Amino acid sequence: MTPGPTQVSGTVLPKFEQLEDDPAVGRTPPVVVGTDLLTGEAVRIESQGRPMVVAFYAHWCPHCQAEVADLTEWLETNELPVGVDFFAVSVLEDPTRGNHPPEKWLHDEGWQHPVVADTPAMSVVDAFGLASVPYLVAIDAENAVVLRFAGNVGPTEIAAFFAALLEPSA
């Protein structure tokens, strides 16, 4: 299956450098439109008045491989909280490295959430300020970035991450 072209619009977030005092917090994230690598359906990564998490994974990255395996296993017995959308973006694709193509890797892992491929020019990477993978961006129901995180999160932390997005702001 050949996915349609991925498009990015909106304001680019600053490059992620640190968790503390992240300048992207409170900003509106860019919108990503593309084709789900697993189903071939159109995907629009944009707030629909619900919180959302956008995860960025590279097929060849051992940390991403561990994160996807852990999350997939966790999600088999735990459901995402109702009202939180979860998207993935396949980034930094390299046909000379392991687990290529990424859609086969994710399918083999049992991934069940929409996943869009970045553009060859890395438009999605640049728009979300990605510095390394795995990478997560949490966006609240008002469509503002709440948190960005680079590195492995793990199932326990991702559960807390999703739950925190549903808590009313103080």
- Calpha distance 27→18 (Å, rounded): 16
pLDDT one-digit tens code per residue, 60-103: 999 999 999 988 888 888 777 788 899 999 999 999 999 999 99
Q: What is the pTM of this model?
A: 0.92
pLDDT one-digit tens code per residue, 128-155: 999 999 999 999 999 999 999 999 887 7
Angle between helix 155-166 and helix 62-77 axes, rounded to 10 deg = 70
Dihedral of CA 68/51/166/168: which sign? Answer: positive
